[in-house]
């Protein structure tokens, strides 16, 4: 099965995705991780996106879609994908539907981890100390949060009509969120 985990930066998507990868023997498709990897490896894509990411901007769809297409077209990952933070725009959602359809796949479950800004700030400050992520500067996160809410609301509207769309209180403890997701997945 293929899943989407939505939520603003710091909502816990990555934590839940990593758990589900183990539980379901799946593959995490994190655009954030993919983009950070491009920067770390000093690729052409990495060089072109570093300033946007450091300014709290979203990377353009064309670049992100190339990375997503690579993951979807991998035969070892077919129907075993957990999308962490993608899609973030209607254009990306339409692209995802097209790519999945072309490879005879679909999205089985969509989870929205809904978290308020105050909780995000606390989590990011804690994560910055624990993980030392360069993109966890508070000003950058607040820009990303505002941009996320602005661009992703239409995507949430788009997916919320799906019968497999579930909104979860993302301010709950990690184990509580995991239990809710497992309940919906019936695993």
**Can you give the pLDDT of all 187 residues of the chain as single tens digits?**
999 998 887 788 989 999 999 999 999 998 888 888 888 999 888 888 888 777 767 788 888 888 899 899 999 999 999 999 889 888 899 999 999 999 999 999 999 999 988 888 887 777 777 776 666 577 777 787 888 888 888 999 999 999 999 999 999 999 999 999 999 999 8
DSSP sequence for 109-134 = EEEEEE--HHHHHHHHHHHHHHH--T
- 125: nearest Cα among 137, 142, 113: 137
State the pLDDT at residue 77.
96
CATH code of domain 3-173? 3.40.50.300
Packing angle between helix 44-54 and helix 61-72, nearest 10 degrees?
Answer: 120
State the pLDDT at residue 24.
96
Residue bearing tokens 């790519």: 99
State the pLDDT at residue 176.
97
Residue 148's Cβ-count burial label (10 Å; 0-12, 13-18, 19+) is buried
User: How far, in Å, CA of 52 to CA of 97, rounded?
Assistant: 26
Q: Are strands 3-6 and 81-84 parallel, antiparallel or unpaired?
A: parallel
In 57-97 the beta strands, taken as DSSP E runs, fall at: 81-84
State the pLDDT at residue 107.
96
Q: Is the peptide bond before 87 cis (omega within 30 degrees of 0)?
A: yes
Domain spans of the chain, in order of start: 3-173
Neighbours of 60 (CB within 10 A): 11
Q: Are strands 81-84 and 109-114 parallel, antiparallel or unpaired?
A: unpaired
Neighbours of 55 (CB within 10 A): 11
State the pLDDT at residue 136.
59
State the pLDDT at residue 182.
96
State the pLDDT at residue 109.
97
pTM: 0.83
């Amino acid at each position: 099965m293929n899943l989407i985990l939505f939520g603003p930066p710091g909502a816990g998507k990555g934590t839940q995705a990593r758990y589900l990868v183990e539980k379901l023997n799946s593959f995490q498709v994190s655009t954030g991780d993919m983009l950070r990897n491009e920067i770390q490896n000093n690729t052409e894509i990495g060089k072109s996106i570093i300033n946007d990411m450091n300014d709290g901007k979203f990377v353009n769809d064309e670049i992100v879609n190339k990375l997503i297409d690579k993951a979807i077209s991998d035969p070892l990952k077919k129907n075993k994908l957990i999308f962490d933070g993608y899609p973030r725009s209607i254009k990306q959602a339409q692209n995802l539907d097209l790519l999945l359809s072309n490879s005879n796949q679909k999205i089985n479950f969509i989870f929205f981890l809904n978290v308020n800004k105050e909780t995000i700030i606390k989590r990011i400050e804690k994560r910055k100390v624990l993980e030392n992520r360069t993109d966890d500067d508070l000003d950058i996160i607040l820009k990303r949060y505002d941009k996320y809410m602005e661009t992703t609301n239409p995507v949430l509207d788009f997916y919320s009509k799906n019968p497999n769309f579930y909104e979860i209180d993302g301010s709950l403890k990690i184990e509580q969120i995991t239990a809710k997701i497992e309940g919906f997945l019936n695993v």
